[in-house]
Amino acid sequence: MFGFRYLKSKPTDYVVLYRGGRVARQGLGLAGFVYMPFATGAAVPTDARDEIFAVEAMTVDYQTITIQGLISFRIKDAPVAAARQDFSINLTTGAHTGEPMKQIVERLRAIAQTACRDALVRSTLDAALNKSDELSQVIMRGIADDKRLAADGIAVDRVLVLSLKPTPEIRKALEANLREQLLRQADAAMFERRRAATTDEHDLKLRDEKNKRELAENALANEQALESERRKVAEVRAETSKAEASADAEALRIRLKPWSEIPPQQIAAMAFKDWANRETNLASLSIGGDALERLANQFAAKSE
């Protein structure tokens, strides 16, 4: 109404309002009525932003690598940034008339690409693919060395290199080479496993044979010891039997010694006396020829 319009901005936008080429008002999240015919404005975003970038660099062996990463940046000095770059806005819609943030991202991407090229120009492809952390530090140093960024009020908080990728053809070749190496390693591991299994089986057989041999030797030693004990027992038994036989013979000799001192006639008389004293009747008597001859000889001797 009457050329006035209410302007409302984001809390993270630093708004600068100009009137007649001079700064009329400025501040974060500025809001209020603006006289449209004579006013112009600029809005500088001060929030932190993360931008994905992708740049290319060539290695010493003429291989192209695509570096993908993330840059976190912000505008730390809004008044300086508004004075150095076009952040003008349409006061009716509040939108930027140009693309100032895109221009800042392009500047950061160019610095990152230059830093990556300088870092990889003396590296081979294999070495470059393992330089993610190093490239992050190189890009960060390249941004810190750029005086224009600081002069324009731009600050970079961190840089992350997310991936390093060769061209699709080279990638396929590397994958094929790596696959071949993995297959060879798998074959080598399988061969080593089989060799180890064969060795273990051989060692197991040797241990089994050794155990059997030790068991056989122990059994033989036990048999020999048992046989030796049996021999000793047999010898002891033989000595005992011999001693018993000698004792029995000596006892028999002692018992028969009195009979050897008695005349045979007396022994015969004693025998007849024992027969006569038996309670049983003597029905028959068998006398051999030797006995009769002895009796006859005795009777003859008495008659003489």
pLDDT for 304 equals: 56
- Within a domain: residue 278? no
Statement to judge: residues 33 and 135 lie in one domain: yes
Q: Show which of 118, 147, 166 is a domain's final residue.
A: 166
Model pLDDT, residue 278:
66
pLDDT at 283: 62
Q: Are residues 40 and 87 in the same domain?
A: yes
Q: Are residues 189 and 241 in the same domain?
A: yes
Does 223 reside within a domain? yes
The helix or strand, by DSSP H or E, that contains position 279, with its residue range, turns out to be none
One-letter amino acid for residue 230 of the chain: R
- Tens of pLDDT along the chain (304 residues) come to 567 878 888 888 999 988 877 888 888 888 888 877 788 899 999 999 999 999 888 888 888 889 999 999 999 999 999 888 889 988 888 888 899 999 999 999 999 988 888 888 888 888 888 888 888 998 998 888 888 888 899 999 999 999 888 888 877 777 777 788 888 888 888 888 888 888 888 888 888 888 888 888 888 888 888 888 888 888 888 888 888 888 888 887 787 777 666 776 666 667 666 766 666 665 666 666 666 676 667 666 655 5
CATH number at residue 74: 3.30.479.30
pTM of the predicted model as reported, rounded to 2 decimal places: 0.56
Quote the pLDDT of residue 221.
86
Range of the domain at 83: 4-166
- What's the order of all strands across the beta sheet hosting 88-89? 22-28, 13-19, 39-45, 88-89
Domain count, the chain: 2
Alpha-carbon distance 204 to 199, whole Å?
Answer: 8
**CB < 8 Å & 24+ apart, contacts of 89-92:** 89/41, 89/42, 89/43, 91/5, 91/7, 91/34, 91/36, 91/39, 91/40, 91/41, 92/5, 92/36
Same domain? For 8 and 129 the reply is yes
